[in-house]
Amino acid sequence: MNAIEAEPPCVLLVDDDPAILESYSLIFSAAGYRVRCAKDGAQALNMLRHGDFRPCLVVLDLMMPGVDGFEFLARRAQDEQLRSVPVIVCSSIDDLSPFRAAGDANAWLPKPVDVPTLLQHAAVWGRATQVQ
């Protein structure tokens, strides 16, 4: 596949709030990404393991029912195939510093997310690591 035929990079958005998924979808679509959405960590892991796409980036909420973002990160770290997919965590948790130290994600952003900052991180972590 040459550069002209290459598909745009794909981002997987993981959040239990439909309004946030819709907002992020619009933001990333306008920035030239293909978008897939998951409502929780379990669905996201299933999509990553069995889906017909390989995202260049996962944008992950932490606080979700079922498999939350913390569990998603733990399971991702255990899976050799998924470990290399970059993750940007977006969370309303007031102090993300203890989680940053764990190094489970490539970037940690507070909600509400500053859109230019989110897209800047996506450009660094997503496009730079896109799997063709």
What is the per-residue pLDDT for 126? 73
Q: Per the domain annotation, does 2 fall within a domain?
A: no
Mean pLDDT of the residues in the chain: 88
Q: Per the domain annotation, does 30 fall within a domain?
A: yes
Q: Per the domain annotation, does 1 fall within a domain?
A: no
Number of domains in the chain: 1
Query: Mean pLDDT across the stretch 70-84?
Result: 92
- Tokens 């050799």, located at residue: 80
Q: Per the domain annotation, does 4 fall within a domain?
A: no
Residue 123 near residue 93 (C-beta atoms within 8 A):
no
CB burial of 70-83 (b: ≥16 within 10 Å; e: otherwise) equals bbbbebbeeeeebe
Q: Domain containing 28: what range?
A: 10-129
Q: Per the domain annotation, does 32 fall within a domain?
A: yes
CATH number of residue 67's parent domain: 3.40.50.2300
Higher pLDDT pick, 96 / 1: 96
What is the per-residue pLDDT for 102? 65
Q: Per the domain annotation, does 23 fall within a domain?
A: yes
Least confidently predicted of 18-27, 39-48, 70-79, 92-101: 92-101
